[in-house]
């Protein structure tokens, strides 16, 4: 085909180039960059999508912490300001968001993500720019292995998987367990592997190991295969949306074995989706709202006052992550990345809502876990398991 | 529990999944039959059907009073809504392009599909919603150890009834005869005095309302619904239509049931990892070895 520059085509081209210029001009407008009287902290979370409550709870926790810190004068005489971006629950969006926070908003430190898959997408970027990053609740070990600027304030999957395996063996006295893991999710695969290892070592048997991919809504074929092996419990270390659906479909197939899981279950939505079917199931978590210690109860009442609901574990983790960061920045000799990094690494016996936080050499927090039982719409405390 | 029991259970699960694919596939195949257009926006009509059903049953709080009539009312509302949506899509997106090359219409279809997906995110929010239980889940039926839950039965029965109605419309009514005539030869039908534009509109409405019904039934057994939920079932139903021979109504049903069963058995007996890839592997094989599908008739194309 030959391109003939007719008059109308030329006119179109002119219009097009004007439009393009406008777009470029508009998008390159400067965003307000950090002013001297404040410290900008970036947050990346899943505010929408299948794990929306992870992002919103964590964000609420962080907001509460920042409000409290600013009320007593901030850090080094500067107020904290949070810039939070939604990644819609997608790792690629999380990577884009963290790049934007670092290059455009010039953040001093980063908080996030909840899900390990997304923290794993963010960590190499934060490491590359040498910006300290604290993930409140990504439990996959690989996250902090991405570099010496990546920290977490929660326990890791080898421990969490062990907790549930021990609980199944010792408290529930189970011998035959089935596994239903989310193969698209680093967190879920990790938990399933560590659970299997400990459970087998303790004399238990994994009767069948099935899988699904996050985002699916039909689990009947996997559950039918599991039902054929008659397990005493099913370990489902996924996120709440899928777990709720799995619980319902298991009940529809009249599987009465309880489900076991990890902190990915922790959402008020779990009960809404799973309804009655999720009752009688157990999961490991970072904290229990039934904990009577004064700092936990104080946090719960303040949180309720601010947001009108009881905080879930992820809200508590977000709160602790922000507090640990502020604590480190206060101790650091200056607000240079390196000083903040060193101060976070030196965190010792910080008493948070989710327990005493000490950062170890691998930049992980060493903490105990609690096991909760889903019972008629509330998460009942069962036991605490120490590392 | 015997291996036989597990097999029959997989069979039942596969049939109820296939029935839903079939309802969507019918819309694809009808539109293709009459316009030789693959209506990629069809999966999004299915999604809108699920949302229409959800908002309707929430508005009347049908979740609190589950009954068979609640389901029928929801189905009816959702089918009507989708019928209107189908009409609008055809009228404003496809009709102006009736005389343009087929590729233009195809690209428009992709555009409509994306438009509906993202308008859905804007309108409904991108976080998943949950379809209320508008019929009693109950214990269903048990034959020994095989469980058929009420939902699965309801889904299969309703699908069958809708397909029977469609079959009657196509083969026993004037509209059906007109549709077949237009699908056979658009220009000749027009010369014979058949109002082809009107017939095409009706076909779209019919196909879209079936997708609406599929949306509600899908919501019943897989209660998580979201604005992007239509794309994958839509594509799979398209594969089902190709498998059965695009343009062939009975073929679409057979193709869809085959696909539902194949997915179920793959996940149950082999591996769940390739569940979504299976449909497309089938598509490639069909296009390589029997491009007309199982029941398709080869049309000679005049160039």
In chain A, domain spans: 38-155+292-367, 158-285
pLDDT, position B32: 87
pLDDT, position A30: 46
- Distance, in Å, from the CA atom of A152 to the CA atom of A145, rounded to the nearest integer, reads 11
Mean pLDDT (whole number) for B80-97: 94
pLDDT beyond 70 at B299: no
- For residue range A312-353, list pLDDT tens digits in order: 889 999 999 999 999 999 999 999 999 999 999 999 888 888
- For residues A303 and A272, which has the higher predicted lDDT (pLDDT)? A303
CB distance A218–B130 less than 8 Å?
A: no
- For residue range A74-124, list pLDDT tens digits in order: 898 899 999 999 998 889 999 999 999 999 999 999 998 999 899 999 999
pLDDT beyond 70 at B237: yes
Position B6 confidence tier, pLDDT thresholds 50, 70, 90 = confident
Query: What DSSP assignment string belongs to A89-138?
Result: T-HHHHHHHHHHHHHTS--SEEE--SSHHHHHHHHHHHHHTT--EEESS-
Residues of B with CB under 8 A from a CB of A: 1, 3, 5-6, 9-10, 13-14, 17, 125-128, 130, 137, 139-140, 147, 149, 151, 221-224, 226, 263-265, 267-269, 271-273, 275-276
To the nearest whole number, what is the mean pLDDT of chain A?
87
- For residues A2 and B43, which has the higher predicted lDDT (pLDDT)? B43
pLDDT beyond 70 at A13: no
Mean pLDDT (whole number) for B244-264: 89
Position A31 confidence tier, pLDDT thresholds 50, 70, 90 = very low
Question: Which pair of structure tokens corresponds to residue B199?
Answer: 């017939």
pLDDT, position A259: 94
- For residues B178 and B151, which has the higher predicted lDDT (pLDDT)? B178
Position A3 confidence tier, pLDDT thresholds 50, 70, 90 = very low
- Distance, in Å, from the CA atom of A357 to the CA atom of B207, rounded to the nearest integer, reads 59
Other residues' Cβ atoms within 10 Å of the Cβ of residue B184? 12
Position A12 confidence tier, pLDDT thresholds 50, 70, 90 = low
pLDDT, position A206: 92
Task: Give the distance, in angstroms, between the CA of residue B29 and the centroid of all CA atoms in the same chain.
Answer: 9
pLDDT, position B24: 92
Tell me which chain A residues have a C-beta less than 8 angstroms from the C-beta of B1: 227-228, 230
H helix intervals, chain A? 7-27, 52-71, 91-103, 116-128, 157-166, 186-201, 220-227, 240-252, 269-274, 294-307, 313-331, 337-345
pLDDT, position A196: 93
Question: Which pair of structure tokens corresponds to residue B60?
Answer: 């009347």
List the single residue in B127, B149, B263 with the smallest CB-CB distance to A252. B149
State the sign of the Cα–Cα–Cα–Cα dihedral A175, A180, A183, A187. negative
pLDDT, position A6: 52
**Bridge partner residues of A80 (DSSP):** A39
So what CATH class is B3-289? mainly alpha
Chain A residue with the nearest C-alpha to that of B219: A217
Do domains A38-155+292-367 and A158-285 share one topology? The answer is yes
Q: How many CA atoms lie within 13 A of A253 on its CB side?
A: 26
Chain A residue with the nearest C-alpha to that of B146: A253
pLDDT beyond 90 at B46: yes
- For residues A24 and A240, which has the higher predicted lDDT (pLDDT)? A240
pLDDT, position A20: 54
Position A1 confidence tier, pLDDT thresholds 50, 70, 90 = very low
Tell me which chain A residues have a C-beta less than 8 angstroms from the C-beta of B221: 218
Q: What's the fold here for domain A38-155+292-367?
A: Rossmann fold (3.40.50)
Mean pLDDT (whole number) for B124-143: 77
pLDDT, position B75: 94
Mutate one of A220, A276, A278 to test the B interface: name it (highest B CB count within 10 A). A220
pLDDT beyond 70 at A26: no
pLDDT beyond 60 at A141: yes
Looking up tokens 């997408």, which residue turns up? A121
- Distance, in Å, from the CA atom of B231 to the CA atom of B124, rounded to the nearest integer, reads 16
- For residue range B103-133, list pLDDT tens digits in order: 899 999 999 999 999 999 889 887 788 888 8
List the single residue in A221, A227, A230 with the smallest CB-CB distance to B267. A221
CATH number of the domain located at residue range(s) A158-285 in this protein:
3.40.50.2300
List the single residue in B17, B127, B275 with the smallest CB-CB distance to A48. B127
H helix and E strand count, chain B: 11, 4
pLDDT beyond 90 at B68: no
Q: Tell me what percent of the residues of chain B surpass a pLDDT of 90.
A: 44
List the single residue in B14, B137, B273 with the smallest CB-CB distance to A183. B273
**Max Cα-Cα span within chain A:** 83
- Distance, in Å, from the CA atom of A109 to the CA atom of A98, rounded to the nearest integer, reads 10
Question: Which pair of structure tokens corresponds to residue A140?
Answer: 């996959």
């Amino acid at each position: 085909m030959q391109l003939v520059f007719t008059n109308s085509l030329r006119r179109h081209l002119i219009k097009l180039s004007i439009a393009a210029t406008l777009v470029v001009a508009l998008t390159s407008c400067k965003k307000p960059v950090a002013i001297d009287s404040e410290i900008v902290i970036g947050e990346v979370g899943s505010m929408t999508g299948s794990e929306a409550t992870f992002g919103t709870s964590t964000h609420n926790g962080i907001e509460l912490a920042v409000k409290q810190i600013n009320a007593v004068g901030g850090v080094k005489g500067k107020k904290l300001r949070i810039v939070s971006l939604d990644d819609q629950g997608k790792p690629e969006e999380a990577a884009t968001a963290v790049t934007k926070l670092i290059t455009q908003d010039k953040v001093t430190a980063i908080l996030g993500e909840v899900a390990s898959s997304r923290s794993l997408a963010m960590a190499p970027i934060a490491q590359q720019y040498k910006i300290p990053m604290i993930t409140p609740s990504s439990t996959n070990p690989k996250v902090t292995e991405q570099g010496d600027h990546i920290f977490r304030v929660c326990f890791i999957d080898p421990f969490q998987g062990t907790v549930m395996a021990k609980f199944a063996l010792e408290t529930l006295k189970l011998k035959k367990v089935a596994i239903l893991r989310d193969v698209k999710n680093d967190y879920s695969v990790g938990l399933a592997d560590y659970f299997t290892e400990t459970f087998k070592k303790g004399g238990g048997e994994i009767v069948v190991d099935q899988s699904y991919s996050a985002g699916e809504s039909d689990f009947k074929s996997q559950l039918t295969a599991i039902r054929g092996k008659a397990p005493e419990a099913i370990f489902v270390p996924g996120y709440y949306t899928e777990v709720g659906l799995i619980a319902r479909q298991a009940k529809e197939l009249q599987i009465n074995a309880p489900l076991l899981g990890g902190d990915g279950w922790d959402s008020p939505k779990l009960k809404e989706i799973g309804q009655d079917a999720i009752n009688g199931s157990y999961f490991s978590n970072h904290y229990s709202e039934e904990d009577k210690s004064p700092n936990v109860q104080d946090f719960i009442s303040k949180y309720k006052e601010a947001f009108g609901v009881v905080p879930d574990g992820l809200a508590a983790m977000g709160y602790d992550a922000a507090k640990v960061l502020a604590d480190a920045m206060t101790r650091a000799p200056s607000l240079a990345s390196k000083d903040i990094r060193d101060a976070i690494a030196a965190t010792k016996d910080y008493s948070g809502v989710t327990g005493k936080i000490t950062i170890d050499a691998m930049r992980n927090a060493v903490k105990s876990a609690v096991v909760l039982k889903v019972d008629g719409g509330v998460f009942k405390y069962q036991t605490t398991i120490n590392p | 529990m015997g291996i036989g029991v597990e097999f029959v259970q997989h069979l039942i699960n596969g049939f109820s999944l296939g029935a839903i694919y079939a309802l969507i596939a019918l819309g694809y195949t009808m539109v293709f039959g009459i316009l030789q257009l693959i209506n990629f926006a069809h999966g999004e009509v299915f999604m809108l059907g699920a949302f229409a059903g959800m908002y309707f049953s929430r508005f009347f709080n049908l979740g609190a009073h589950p009954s068979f009539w609640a389901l029928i009312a929801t189905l009816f509302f959702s089918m009507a809504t989708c019928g209107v949506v189908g009409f609008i899509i055809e009228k404003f997106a496809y009709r102006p392009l009736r005389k343009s090359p087929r590729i233009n219409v195809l690209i428009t279809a992709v555009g409509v599909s994306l438009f509906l997906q993202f308008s859905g995110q804007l309108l409904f929010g991108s976080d998943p919603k949950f379809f209320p239980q508008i019929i009693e889940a109950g214990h269903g039926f048990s034959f020994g150890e095989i469980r058929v839950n009420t939902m699965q039965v309801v889904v299969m029965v309703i699908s069958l009834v809708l397909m029977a109605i469609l079959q009657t419309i196509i083969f026993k009514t004037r509209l059906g005869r007109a549709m077949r005539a237009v699908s056979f030869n658009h220009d000749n039908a027009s010369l014979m005095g058949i109002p082809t534009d009107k017939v095409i509109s009706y076909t779209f409405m019919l196909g879209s309302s079936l997708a609406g019904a599929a949306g509600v039934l899908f919501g019943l057994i897989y209660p998580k619904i979201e604005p992007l939920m239509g794309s994958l079932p839509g594509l799979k139903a398209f594969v089902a239509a190709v498998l059965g021979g695009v343009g062939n109504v009975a073929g679409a049903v057979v193709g869809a049931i085959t696909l539902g069963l194949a997915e179920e058995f793959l996940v149950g007996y082999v591996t769940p990892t390739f569940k979504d890839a299976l449909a497309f592997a089938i598509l490639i094989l069909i296009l390589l070895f029997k491009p007309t599908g199982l029941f398709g008739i080869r049309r000679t194309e005049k160039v």
